[in-house]
Amino acid sequence: MLSKETKIYVAGHRGMVGSAIFRLLVKNGYRNVIGLESSELDLRNQQDVNVFFNENQPEVVIDAAARVGGILANSKYPYQFLMENLQIQNNLIDFSLKCGVKKFIFLGSSCIYPKMSQQPIKEEYLLNGFLEPTNEAYAISKIAGVKACEAVKKQYGLDYISLMPTNLYGPYDNFDLQSSHVLPAMIRKFHEAKEKKNITVELWGSGNPMREFLHVDDLAEAVIFSMENELKESLYNVGTGTDISIKELAKLIQQITGHKGDIKWDTTKPDGTPRKLLDISKLKNEGWESRIDLESGILSTFNWFIDNLKDIKEVKLNF
């Protein structure tokens, strides 16, 4: 049984997802939450992770650590996205098992599902078709993590589960234009274009693909819910159940940021997967659903971006 004294390790606690989970755990009264900087613990290093687990003996592990990036970064550095994510999650899952961790929550991404998957995407559609080529390496690493947790649950009867969120956004997101995802990149582009007397904003692709977006605070709520309850399945989608075209998203962000100029779509750039809408019925039937609507979520994220503009640094791709 969990208590407020349960020792919980949040891997990747300084990232957007990990920090949201860490904040919510503390807010909810958990008093024994562990988080280490990457400079203190390199999760790619097997020996270092082994020492950490043996010295700290966490009871719950939440894996929010990953090498992440947008289309550009994924396309340019597939080896690093594949290998580093495999190293991180393999070390965390394996040493959790060896050290007797009873509850493990693995966080992945909806990109694990086939590019041309039937919509909305059910958990059973995993490995039913070809992946989106632009992020195939990352997706394969995450599929391996899902299968590792599934194997632990099946073979050892331990509560190791995987949560697959849709596209995430919120405070502490990556706003670097070379490596960010679509929503934070748009926030930055429209804001900077407004500051430059409403110059034209150029965006990739046709704007036609449909995407679902989940605020990171909603995901944190889903993680805590999954931690505090024993769920029947090993894999759950986490989303809102609604999607929006990239073109409509651009108009919404343009309105929120106050940009008055034109939008130009560069159709020579890739669109990625045509549609990614998750079937969220499994987790909803367990008793959890999202609460933050897209417009208010983007507004709060934009306000956070403005408040923290001087502290937002360019992300260096150290590959």
Find the distance separating the first CA and the last CA of the chain, reported in whole Å: 42
Q: Are 167 and 306 in contact (CB under 8 A)?
A: no
Q: Give the span between the Cα atoms of 95 and 45, in whole angstroms.
A: 12
Q: Which residue has the tokens 């669109």?
A: 271
CA 301, 82, 85: angle at the middle one, nearest 5? 60
Q: Is 172 a catalytic residue?
A: no
Q: Give the span between the Cα atoms of 284 and 241, in whole angstroms.
A: 10
Q: Are 84 and 30 in contact (CB under 8 A)?
A: no
Annotated binding site for substrate: 189, 204, 211, 271
Which residue among 9, 77, 113, 138 is the active-site one? 138
Give just the sign of the alpha carbon dihedral 273, 128, 241, 305: negative
Annotated binding site for NADP(+): 12-18, 107-110, 142, 165-168, 181
Burial of 230 (0-12, 13-18, 19+ CB in 10 A): exposed
| Catalytic residue IDs | 138
